[in-house]
Structure 1
Amino acid sequence: MLFDGGEHAAAADLMRQALEIVPEWAAGLFRLGEMEEAAGNGDAAAIVWKRLVELDVEDRFGAGLKLAASGRGDIPVTPPTAYVETLFDAYAPTFESALLEKLDYRVPGLLAAAVEDAAPGRHFASVLDLGCGTGLMGPLLRARCQHLVGIDLSEVMLQRAAEKNVYDSLAKGDVNELDVPANEADLIIAADVFVYVGVLDRAFAKIASALAADGLFAFSVETHDGDDGLVLQQSLRYTHSEAYVRRLVAVHSMTPVSIDRQTIRMDRGEPLSGLIVVAKHL
């Protein structure tokens, strides 16, 4: 209540008292770090997050990411798997309402339209929906494919996707550890996935291996202006530059069909810019 009311320092003081009773309460430590940060005590927040990284080696709350985003730690090449899984397990019940009703989320429709522009009327034998979440892409792909597979890190998200009854199969998996037969997929979709992946070389190598000849890879990234390939934002999401995307596509035996800069959703009342990309496997 204190924190929500803007009394951040008082909230932090109360949380410190609670943590005297339960000093290894991971969720409480993370909230204390957020409270210290909001109160303007960045150094105190960093001390808390460093303690949490030591306590929770899987870093389910993303304390290492918070340190990096604050400039007090090294930027990880990829977020902790446990953090992404925990985040989306918790987010699943309100995921669609938050994105569609509050944030004007546009990526599925933009990707579907980009695929149609790249391959008008094409029917795909095998489609992979990577990071499928609750299955927002599924209904947009179903009529265009024979076999549709959804893959996601979050078991709870997969349960929500199953309720749509549009996927032929769903599996728990990590895009960096993609285990599918080589040269099998005619279309691979990754909608709003790479913001939680970071460095993309390994994921692109796995995807290129899975694509059939002339197969399409359609994906989105949040983007930024400037020369930096990728940037960890305060939101704890990674943004990728257009130059970085173009380099990865070329390195992994693909050629861009289209790369369009679009508003992909709203963020704190402001339009959030992203790239909608379709690439073809050579």
Structure 2
Amino acid sequence: MSLTTTVRTSGDFRADHRYEYARAAFDERDFEAAADLARQVLELVPGFAAAHAMLGRSLAELGAREEAVAALRQALSLEPEDAMGVRLDLARLGALTPDEAMTDGYVRALFDDYAPKFDQHLTESLAYRGPELIAAALRRACSEQIRDDRFGQTLDLGCGTGLMAQELAGRCAAIEGVDLSPRMLEKADKTKLYDALHEGELVAFLSGRGTGEADLVVAADVFVYMAALDAVFREAHRVLKREGLFAFTVQTHEGEGYILGEDARYAHSETYLRGLAEHEGFTLVIFERVSTREDRGVPVPGFLMVLQR
């Protein structure tokens, strides 16, 4: 169970002070102290969602599942958009299905908070190379098909700070990005590589695009924040022109379908991805095992796919 780093206030100085002590105790794995301090905060400010979340997470670590679920549900009722990621905790406790675990509000808050240190943390701490791998795979795909390694209209799903556009610079006639996080989009805009940037959810973004308008759709490590990918595949196929390419990376697991992993990211199986591609009428161009990042120094297993309409 993890805590968001966004500064939260109850409006009461004493309560805020105790809440910060609770956060510190939780981080030091003193969960009994964290739970006790969270209760003290709630005596002062009963409607403070963050304290309910702290209490629930601390109780979960102490093995008090039913009490933890009750506290977490109270936090969620007070903050339905779930910027704190309480649904993830409820899913881990079996109180929600994996499909219900992640909201747009959580992803937006996560990346708004992450934006200032995003590029440096990814490339230096996590050895991230998703965009680099996708760009290289597209070169190989074009070479194998004896086609020009240049693209017309390109749509960058979950564009973040613009790392994918940097890898594709000079290879796209036009590129547009979409992301939930306004702070990430601010950084993407500074690259001066995008013809347009859109704030919003990516399936809704695709649904609003014209049929057959795109030559390339890319998604670098975006689907780890999505459970079912059926709608994405369907809309990507629709917006692509004939022989257009859909390239993306995912985390994977060895079972069936998709799961919510311990790292609070979704992992999709090979059979699930192949089945979706076939169902939507894509032709498989490249399907390979890759690792786009590390977790505590260990490569995270994943797939890279390039599909053709």
Larger Rg: 2
Which position in structure 2 is the counterpart of 1:92? Answer: 115
Amino acid at match of 1:58: E
**Gap change, CA 1:78 and 1:39, over 3 Å in 2:** closer
Give per-residue Cα distances to partners, 1:209-239, cap 9 Å, x unaligned: 111100000001110012x201012222111
Is 1:266 matched with 2:266?
no
Higher percent of residues as strand: 1
Contact 2:91 2:101 in 1 (8 A): no
In the aligned structure 2, how far is the partner of 1:266 from the partner of 1:34? Answer: 26
Which position in structure 1 is the counterpart of 2:193? Answer: 166
Amino acid at match of 1:10: A
In structure 2, runs of 5+ residues without a counterpart are 1-23
Q: 2:227 aligns with which of 198, 221, 225?
A: 198
CA-CA distance at 1:139 after TM superposition: 1.0
TM-score where L is the length of structure 1: 0.94
Contact 1:78 1:196 in 2 (8 A): no
Which position in structure 1 is the counterpart of 2:125? Answer: 102
**Gap change, CA 1:268 and 1:277, over 3 Å in 2:** same
In the aligned structure 2, how far is the partner of 1:187 from the partner of 1:78? Answer: 30
Contact 1:152 1:174 in 2 (8 A): yes
Match runs of 1:1-282 below 5 Å? 1-76=24-99, 79-120=102-143, 121-177=148-204, 178=206, 179-226=208-255, 228-281=256-309
**Gap change, CA 1:39 and 1:102, over 3 Å in 2:** farther
Amino acid at match of 1:204: F
RMSD: 1.6
In structure 1, runs of 5+ residues without a counterpart are none
Contact 1:78 1:199 in 2 (8 A): no
CA-CA distance at 1:88 after TM superposition: 1.3
In the aligned structure 2, how far is the partner of 1:110 from the partner of 1:61? Answer: 32
CA-CA distance at 1:83 after TM superposition: 1.6
Amino acid at match of 1:222: Q
CA-CA distance at 1:33 after TM superposition: 2.6
In the aligned structure 2, how far is the partner of 1:146 from the partner of 1:206? Answer: 21
CA-CA distance at 1:77 after TM superposition: 5.3
CA-CA distance at 1:192 after TM superposition: 0.8
Amino acid at match of 1:192: D
In the aligned structure 2, how far is the partner of 1:14 from the partner of 1:141? Answer: 50
**Gap change, CA 1:225 and 1:90, over 3 Å in 2:** same
In the aligned structure 2, how far is the partner of 1:48 from the partner of 1:234? Answer: 21
In the aligned structure 2, how far is the partner of 1:5 from the partner of 1:61? Answer: 19
TM-score where L is the length of structure 2: 0.86
CA-CA distance at 1:78 after TM superposition: 7.0
CA-CA distance at 1:130 after TM superposition: 0.5
Contact 2:251 2:301 in 1 (8 A): yes
